[in-house]
Amino acid sequence: MNRPPPGPVRTFASAVAGFAAFLLVWQLSVSFVPFLERVPAPADTARAISQLATGDLLWKSIVASVFRVAWGFCLAVGIGIPLGVLLGWVPTARAVGNPVVQALRPISPIAWLPIAVLLFGRTRWFSAADVEAIFIIFIASFFPIVTATTSAVSSIDHKYIRSAANFGVGGSLLFRRVILPAAMPQILTGLRLALGIAWVVVVAAEMLGVQSGLGYQINDSRNNLRYDLVTAVMAVIAVIGLLLDSAMSRIEHATLARRGARHA
């Protein structure tokens, strides 16, 4: 537990070794296990990726998926954080609101698809399919954000609130200078979790309703019996997911860097 963390070179080398081992196991199993013989090998996948990268379909799909995630996620942040602050700060609001939030949370975001279609299926000023997907992403990221913010705000150390009261700091100043910064570490963890879920869910949402995006590309490739394209798109999804997560983690570190060992 207390060993010093390995340096960046070691970390990178270990990751490369892990991927190499994974690719090797993948290659060997599709070559020698009869049950897996129709699964594309790493080389097939790589070839399909380079094929995809030359056309603009891959880029269009990435943009479509990222666009939906960005909208859904930002809406969830904009509504979820204020709601979470309210639930965390006002005990009565929490007593009333939190059970509802906790009851809705375990419903898979995909289960909301019929409701999304019902609500937004006739949208004209925007692509209806886009709005439906955005709504599902919103649902997927909203609950982790509200839950994290509520718990962060309700567990703020008493002494910070007392200090603020002692120095006559109240109202909006109290929120900006004490409550939000005190809750920030936990909120950021919630945002990172929510973005991860959003990226998982967007693929599922796109497999169901819409005609674009990475999820749709997986379906489309399957329908054309191009399983090498399926694994290629899966690889792209993995890379973008990693990039999103490391971007969030950078934001987290940059925000909390000077606060000390607890979060740095």
Partner 1 sequence: MTPPPDADPSAGDKILVRDVHKTFSTKKGDVQVLEGVDLAVRDREFLAIVGPSGCGKSTLLNCMAGFERISTGSIEIDGVEVTAPSPKRVFVFQETGIFPWFSVWDNIGFGLSRMPFEQKHEIVMRYIRMVGLDGFEKSFPSELSGGMKQRVEFARALAVDPDVLYLDEPFGALDAFTRLEMRREVVRIWGETHKTCILVTHDVEEAIELADRIAVMTQRPARIQTVLDNPQPRPRDPDRREFRALKDEIFGILGVERSV
- Residues forming contacts to partner 1 in the complex (CB under 8 A) are 159-160, 162-163, 165-169, 173, 177-178, 181-182, 184, 258-261, 264
For the bound state, the minimum distance from the C-beta of residue 166 to partner 1, rounded and expressed in Å, comes to 5
For the bound state, the minimum distance from the C-beta of residue 249 to partner 1, rounded and expressed in Å, comes to 19
| Closest listed residue to residue 199, CA positions, set 189, 191, 188, 187 | 191
**DSSP states along 195-220:** HHHHHHHHHHHHHHS-SSSHHHHHHH
For the bound state, the minimum distance from the C-beta of residue 178 to partner 1, rounded and expressed in Å, comes to 7
Q: Of the two residues 162 and 250, which places its CB atom closer to partner 1 in the complex?
A: 162
Residue partners of 260: CB distance under 8 A and separation at least 6: none
Cα 122 vs. chain centroid, distance in angstroms?
Answer: 28
For the bound state, the minimum distance from the C-beta of residue 152 to partner 1, rounded and expressed in Å, comes to 13
82 vs 86: CA distance, rounded Å = 6
59 vs 79: CA distance, rounded Å = 30
For the bound state, the minimum distance from the C-beta of residue 258 to partner 1, rounded and expressed in Å, comes to 4
Q: Of the two residues 67 and 160, which places its CB atom closer to partner 1 in the complex?
A: 160
**DSSP states along 2-25:** -SPPPPHHHHHHHHHHHHHHHHHH
Residue with tokens 């971007």: 247
Q: Are 214 and 236 in contact (CB under 8 A)?
A: yes
For the bound state, the minimum distance from the C-beta of residue 261 to partner 1, rounded and expressed in Å, comes to 7
